[in-house]
């Protein structure tokens, strides 16, 4: 399991760079993960990240697109503008949660 | 008299009515089954209609032939479930009170969820094959096909029978060859997933097969809209895939009635305990088949395996005992690959599809994750099994609800993880 240092914090990740231990996550780590994706975090990004965080704590799953639309009130268009090329995967990684599993 | 009420007389609802009618004393329990459709459809057969392999009559039977004896059957729509009062309301105001409720209302394609999908081109050059009407319309469209760009497309996951779009693609490739139209047809497979299938071992094998058949794949494509004028589908990040004929799988939504009843999630699936199949919000409501939010395939085999677990758990519930039977997510799917051959997948919540033999170790006779004629014959024989064994609630020999690891070639790392 790779270990690296982000924003001065040592973190454990899986092979695709998703944090394996959410307790190692904080807002500075999030900013560093976002920078790896070429993203500078704004309030718009944090609205998404906060929703994922709250929702994951409640349901233990990264919310899908429709849940972000309907429950989180965040339109898909905005998600693609904020996190280009695969918003759910990128937002999940920056939130410090596992890669979303597609359903079978 | 007590009432067990089942909403939906599809695969799951009909099997539950059959098995529970045999288990619950007739003098104590009425079993009421409600469905709005006059006919029962063999849904796996829709895939074969466009290629002339099945006719309309192969996949349709009147409910009078599929609803078991001893059931109070009502052909009606449902307005909503009033869970607080243990009753279901029908649109004409009729109240149906229940002691135990089973929700088996499935999912349906919802093309109106995608901008521009239901337009002037719908059922002309934009088709789906997940409904009887859709399969019929596509059958007609293919009769006049002269070549061009055929795009097979999945809007979003999860969908009912997740391998069906791949099967459609393989069958189309074979059918076009027979008609002498393959060289005039470009086939493109467009998916929102990162590969051909969700599970790594199967995805690798299926990707190679697509490649061999000269079918190009566009992955990670999240559809934003259909542009009917330009005849193309457009993704949220403005990628465009042009089509002459689009065969899409629209988003799969649960019944609107679930939403009206306040019992569903954002896709109108009912949050359900994935092991006991009890509704998370109400102890006397159970959910089966496509209507659940369980993280396994939405497939007839799953509904069948779940029915064994749910029958036991409903008997436990009625007796005031803990729900002891547990569903493991077992799914078993044939994948038609064209030219009279098929693959077979067997998997559950924890074990992805792998190679091996089924149902017996070494003897098989079916081979897992490999192409064979016998697998195809198994799929074709299944229609008879469906009408005559599955719906009446008889067990299928050697294939139980608990997935067996025997006969499966499991990488050593995974055995450890599964144990």
Distance from CA of B209 to the nearest CA of A (A): 19
> Structural domain boundaries of chain A?
3-94
Do both B225 and B173 map to the same domain? Answer: yes
Contact with chain B for residue A76, Cβ under 8 A: yes
Q: What is the pLDDT of residue B146?
A: 97
CB contact under 8 A, A104 and B224: no
Closest-CA residue of chain A to B191: A102
Size of interface A-B (CB pairs under 8 A): 44
Whole-number percent of chain A with pLDDT over 90: 77
Q: What is the pLDDT of residue B196?
A: 87
Query: Among the listed ranges A17-21, B115-119, B276-280, B398-402, which one has the minimum average pLDDT value?
Result: B398-402
Query: Which residues of chain B lie closer than 8 angstroms to A65, CB-CB?
Result: 156, 222
Q: What is the pLDDT of residue B201?
A: 86
Per-residue CA distances from A46 to A26, A31, A39, A86 (Å): 13, 10, 12, 17
Chain position carrying tokens 């990128």:
A90
Q: What is the pLDDT of residue B96?
A: 98
Q: What integer is the mean pLDDT of B186-195?
A: 94
Determine the residue among B195, B222, B252 to mutate to test chain A binding: the one whose Cβ has the most chain A Cβ atoms within 10 Å. Answer: B222
CB atoms within 10 A of CB A31: 16
Do both B162 and B220 map to the same domain? Answer: yes
- Domain-embedded: residue B276: yes
Q: What is the pLDDT of residue B417?
A: 47
Taken in order B179, B181, B183, B185, the sign of the CA dihedral is negative
* Statement: residue B419 has pLDDT above 50: no
Do both B126 and B196 map to the same domain? Answer: yes
Q: Which of B224, B265, B296 sits opposite A104 (nearest CB)?
A: B296
User: How far, in Å, CA of B153 to CA of B130, rounded?
Assistant: 13
- Domain-embedded: residue B377: yes
Do both B218 and B114 map to the same domain? Answer: yes
- Domain-embedded: residue B404: yes
* Statement: residue B415 has pLDDT above 60: no
Query: Which ranges constitute the DSSP H helices of B299-350?
Result: 300-318
Do both B88 and B169 map to the same domain? Answer: no
Do both B292 and B337 map to the same domain? Answer: no
* Statement: residue A101 has pLDDT above 80: no
Q: What is the pLDDT of residue B200?
A: 82
Q: What integer is the mean pLDDT of B388-412?
A: 88
Mean pLDDT score of chain B, rounded to an integer?
Answer: 94
Contact with chain B for residue A58, Cβ under 8 A: no
Q: What is the pLDDT of residue A102?
A: 60
DSSP string, B58-77: HHEEEHHHHSPTT-EEEE--
Do both B191 and B122 map to the same domain? Answer: yes
Query: B309-336: per-residue pLDDT in tens?
Result: 999 999 999 999 999 999 999 999 999 9
Q: What integer is the mean pLDDT of B236-259?
A: 97
Bridge partners, residue B252, by sequence: B109
Do both B117 and B194 map to the same domain? Answer: yes
Query: A45-55: per-residue pLDDT in tens?
Result: 999 999 999 99
Do both B124 and B242 map to the same domain? Answer: yes
Q: What integer is the mean pLDDT of B240-264?
A: 98
According to DSSP, the β-strands at B341-347 and B331-338 are antiparallel
- Domain-embedded: residue B325: no
Strand order in the sheet with B126-127: B126-127, B245-249, B148-154, B185-190, B216-218
Q: What integer is the mean pLDDT of B228-250?
A: 96
Beta strands in B261-311 (DSSP E): 285-287
* Whether the Cβ atoms of residue B146 and residue B248 lie closer than 8 Å to each other: no
Query: Which residues of chain A lie closer than 8 angstroms to B297, CB-CB?
Result: 104
Q: What integer is the mean pLDDT of B47-73?
A: 97
* Whether the Cβ atoms of residue B257 and residue B251 lie closer than 8 Å to each other: no
Do both B227 and B259 map to the same domain? Answer: no
Q: What is the pLDDT of residue B47?
A: 97
Do both B50 and B121 map to the same domain? Answer: no
Compute φ and ψ for A6, nearest 5 degrees. Answer: -125, 125
CB atoms within 10 A of CB B52: 11
- Domain-embedded: residue B171: yes
Q: Which of B156, B237, B331 sits opposite A104 (nearest CB)?
A: B331
- Domain-embedded: residue B324: no
Q: Which of A67, A80, A102 sits opposite B157 (nearest CB)?
A: A102
From B209, B228, B252, the end of a domain falls on B252
| Predicted complex ipTM | 0.82
Here the CATH number for the domain that contains residue B304 is: 3.50.50.60
The boundaries of the domain holding residue B343 are 331-418
State which H helix or E strand residue B87 sits in.
strand B87-89
Count how many domains chain B has. Answer: 3
- Burial group, residue B142, by CB count within 10 angstroms (0-12, 13-18, 19+): buried
Q: What integer is the mean pLDDT of B171-197?
A: 95
State which H helix or E strand residue B102 sits in.
strand B100-103
Query: B271-285: per-residue pLDDT in tens?
Result: 999 999 999 999 999
* Whether the Cβ atoms of residue B224 and residue A78 lie closer than 8 Å to each other: no
Q: What is the pLDDT of residue B397?
A: 79
Do both B306 and B343 map to the same domain? Answer: no
User: How far, in Å, CA of A87 to CA of A91, rounded?
Assistant: 6
- Domain-embedded: residue B414: yes
From B263, B290, B318, the end of a domain falls on B318
Query: B79-135: per-residue pLDDT in tens?
Result: 999 999 999 999 999 999 999 999 999 999 999 999 999 988 999 999 999 999 999
SS3 A103: coil
- Domain-embedded: residue B326: no
CB contact under 8 A, A66 and B267: yes
Q: What is the pLDDT of residue B416?
A: 46
Closest-CA residue of chain A to B352: A104
Largest CA distance in chain A: 38
Distance from CA of A96 to the nearest CA of B (A): 21
Query: A53-95: per-residue pLDDT in tens?
Result: 999 999 888 999 999 999 999 999 999 999 998 899 999 999 9
- Is A103 one of the catalytic residues? yes
From B318, B343, B367, the end of a domain falls on B318
Whole-number percent of chain B with pLDDT over 70: 98
């Amino acid at each position: 399991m790779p270990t690296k240092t982000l924003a001065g914090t040592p973190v454990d990740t899986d092979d695709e760079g998703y944090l394996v231990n959410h307790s190692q996550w904080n807002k500075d780590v999030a900013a560093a993960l976002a920078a790896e994706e070429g993203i500078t975090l704004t309030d718009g990004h944090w609205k998404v990240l906060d929703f994922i965080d709250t929702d994951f704590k409640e349901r233990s799953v990264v919310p899908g697109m429709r849940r972000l639309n309907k429950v989180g009130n965040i339109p898909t268009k905005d998600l693609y503008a904020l996190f280009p090329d695969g918003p759910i995967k990128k937002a999940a990684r920056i939130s410090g949660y596992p890669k979303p599993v597609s359903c079978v | 008299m007590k009432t067990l009420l089942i909403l939906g007389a599809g695969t799951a609802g009909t099997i539950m009515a059959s098995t529970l009618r045999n288990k619950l004393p007739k003098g104590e329990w009425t079993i009421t089954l409600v469905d709005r459709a006059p006919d029962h459809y063999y849904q796996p057969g829709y895939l074969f209609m466009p290629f002339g392999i099945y006719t309309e009559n192969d996949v349709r039977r009147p409910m009078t032939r599929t609803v078991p004896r001893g059931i109070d059957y009502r052909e009606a729509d449902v307005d909503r479930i009033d869970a607080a009062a243990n009753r279901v309301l029908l649109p004409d105001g009729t109240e149906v009170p229940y002691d135990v409720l089973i929700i088996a209302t499935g999912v349906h394609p919802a093309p109106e969820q995608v901008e521009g999908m239901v337009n002037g081109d719908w059922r002309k050059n934009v088709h789906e094959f997940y409904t009887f009407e859709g399969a019929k319309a596509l059958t007609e469209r293919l009769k006049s096909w002269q070549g061009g760009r055929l795009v097979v497309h999945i809007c979003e996951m999860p969908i009912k029978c997740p391998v069906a779009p791949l099967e459609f693609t393989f069958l189309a490739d074979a059918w076009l060859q027979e008609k002498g139209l393959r060289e005039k047809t470009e086939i493109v497979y467009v998916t929102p997933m990162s590969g051909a299938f969700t599970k790594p071992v199967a995805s690798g094998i299926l990707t190679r097969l697509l490649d061999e058949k000269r079918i190009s794949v566009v992955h990670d494509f999240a559809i934003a809209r259909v542009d009917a004028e330009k005849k193309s589908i457009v993704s949220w990040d403005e990628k465009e895939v042009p089509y002459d004929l689009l065969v899409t799988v629209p988003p799969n939504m649960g019944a609107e009635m679930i939403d009206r009843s306040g019992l569903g999630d954002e896709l109108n699936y009912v949050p359900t305990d994935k092991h006991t199949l009890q509704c998370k919000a109400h102890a006397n409501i159970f959910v089966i088949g496509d209507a659940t939010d369980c993280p396994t395939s939405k497939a007839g085999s799953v509904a069948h395996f779940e029915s064994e677990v749910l029958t036991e758990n409903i008997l436990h519930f009625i007796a005031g005992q803990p729900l002891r039977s547990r569903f493991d997510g077992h799914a078993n799917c044939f994948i038609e690959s064209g030219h009279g051959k098929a693959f077979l997948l067997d998997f559950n919540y924890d074990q992805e599809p792998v190679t091996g033999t089924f149902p017996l170790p070494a003897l098989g006779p079916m081979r897992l994750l490999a192409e064979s004629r016998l697998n195809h014959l198994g799929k074709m024989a299944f229609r008879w099994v469906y009408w005559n064994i599955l719906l009446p609630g008889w067990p299928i020999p050697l294939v139980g609800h608990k997935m067996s690891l025997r006969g499966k070639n499991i990488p050593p790392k995974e055995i450890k993880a599964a144990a």
